[in-house]
């Protein structure tokens, strides 16, 4: 039995509206009347064993995760003859899929920001003991808040890895274009599986198009279209970072999410070369030797030397020359000022002539009064 607007669930959660429908149930926006907070309620109406275990696994995984880019689970329970329910943070905003349909491909800077945030979430999940894999990263499972927050949601296909073995209860499902080849069939999945799916999500965000299916690439039926072929505005280094994540063989991808993040950030920062007019070859700002270091030691490229009180004639001449150079830098361009004065004078004379032509009688009276 599905929930209705205004219904009170478990004498605590007041249903406000439906947020979306899925294969096993729906997600609702609700109010926790005990705490006065908005929450999301996810229901599972398929309570047969496999689906029930999958739902409980999602609840258990999320309940133990605490990260700025992951939703928090506050409660989960089962109502007999009705369904299972998961209570989690309500993430306001829209998912990447909705945003792509609304505005098209994103700017590179925004995609790098989103990618870095998701890499942080994956680094946290993959460093847990046991390791947590998401296995369903795609635009529809990434939410962006109105304030720019990034959240990875929907852990329905997640699984936990115990050492070199994986749990046998993890659900198997694929999304064409976003799932790597090892996720098809009975192949082993690991952290690099999530890296592939994240790469596919960023590829779609940059180009507005889904990458070619990984299984078709493995069978040489298709080849991955380069990012810059679909969006020439993207920098070469960001495109290459995303394409490396999309390699069909896991050994050819980024091995850790932190590596992927670092390359994205370095690629983005390399696009900006801000020059404030400082000449690195200039000697106007000289480095002073560290007085704590003995003479003859190189400190930050400067050799320290013993300083005497007596100033040599040569040093005095150099000092005087430096002062003279500073005075020369402060000189005013007198030629430019004279030209400006001459231009203003000409404009005033021209204005007077035009005025006399337009008002000859007034001009005659002014001249008689003046002289």
User: Which residues participate in catalysis according to the annotation?
Assistant: 136
Q: Which residues contact 58 (CB under 8 A, 6 or more apart)?
A: 86, 155, 156, 158
- Asked whether 40 and 30 are in contact (CB, 8 A), the reply is yes
Asked whether 8 and 14 are in contact (CB, 8 A), the reply is: yes
Closest CA to 151 of 176, 169, 132, 134: 134
Q: DSSP 3-state helix, strand, coil percentages of the chain (rounded to 5)?
A: 40, 15, 40
CA distance 302 to 286: 10
> Which has the closest alpha carbon to 208: 189, 184, 234, 183?
234
Would you mind telling me the total number of residues written for the chain in this entry?
Answer: 371
Q: Among candidates 194, 176, 190, 182, which has minimal Cα distance to 134?
A: 194
118 phi/psi in degrees, rounded to 5: -70, -35
């Amino acid at each position: 039995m599905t929930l209705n607007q205004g219904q009170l669930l478990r004498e605590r959660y007041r249903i406000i509206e439906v947020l979306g429908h899925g294969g096993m149930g729906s997600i609702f926006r609700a109010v926790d009347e005990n705490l006065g907070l908005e929450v999301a309620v996810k229901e599972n109406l398929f309570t047969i064993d496999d689906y029930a275990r999958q739902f409980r696994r999602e609840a258990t995984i999320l309940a133990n995760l605490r990260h700025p880019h992951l939703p928090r689970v506050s409660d989960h329970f089962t109502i007999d003859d009705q369904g299972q329910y998961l209570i989690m943070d309500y993430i306001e905003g829209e998912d990447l899929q909705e945003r792509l349909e609304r505005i098209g491909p994103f700017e590179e800077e925004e995609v790098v920001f989103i990618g870095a945030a998701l890499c942080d979430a994956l680094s946290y999940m993959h460093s847990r003991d046991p390791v947590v894999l998401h296995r369903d990263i795609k635009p529809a499972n990434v939410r962006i808040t109105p304030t720019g927050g990034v959240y990875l949601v929907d852990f329905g296909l997640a699984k936990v890895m115990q050492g070199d073995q994986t749990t046998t209860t993890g659900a198997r499902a694929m999304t064409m274009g976003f799932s790597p080849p090892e996720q098809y069939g009975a192949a082993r999945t690991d952290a690099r599986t999530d890296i592939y799916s994240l790469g596919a999500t960023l590829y779609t965000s940059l180009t507005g198009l889904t990458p070619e299916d990984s299984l078709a690439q493995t069978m040489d039926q298709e080849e991955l279209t380069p990012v810059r072929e679909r969006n020439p505005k993207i920098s070469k280094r960001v495109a290459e970072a995303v394409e490396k994540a999309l390699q069909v063989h896991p050994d050819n991808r980024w091995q850790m999410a932190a590596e992927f993040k670092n390359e994205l950030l370095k690629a983005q920062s390399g696009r900006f070369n801000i020059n404030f007019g400082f000449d690195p070859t200039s000697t106007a700002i000289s480095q002073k030797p560290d007085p704590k270091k003995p003479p003859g030691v190189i400190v930050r490229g400067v050799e320290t030397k013993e300083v005497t009180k007596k100033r040599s004639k040569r040093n005095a001449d150099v000092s005087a020359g430096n002062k003279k150079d500073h005075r020369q830098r402060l000189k005013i361009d007198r030629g430019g000022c004279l030209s400006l004065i001459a231009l203003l004078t000409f404009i005033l004379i021209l204005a007077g002539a035009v005025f006399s032509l337009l008002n000859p009688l007034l001009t005659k009276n002014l001249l008689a009064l003046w002289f």
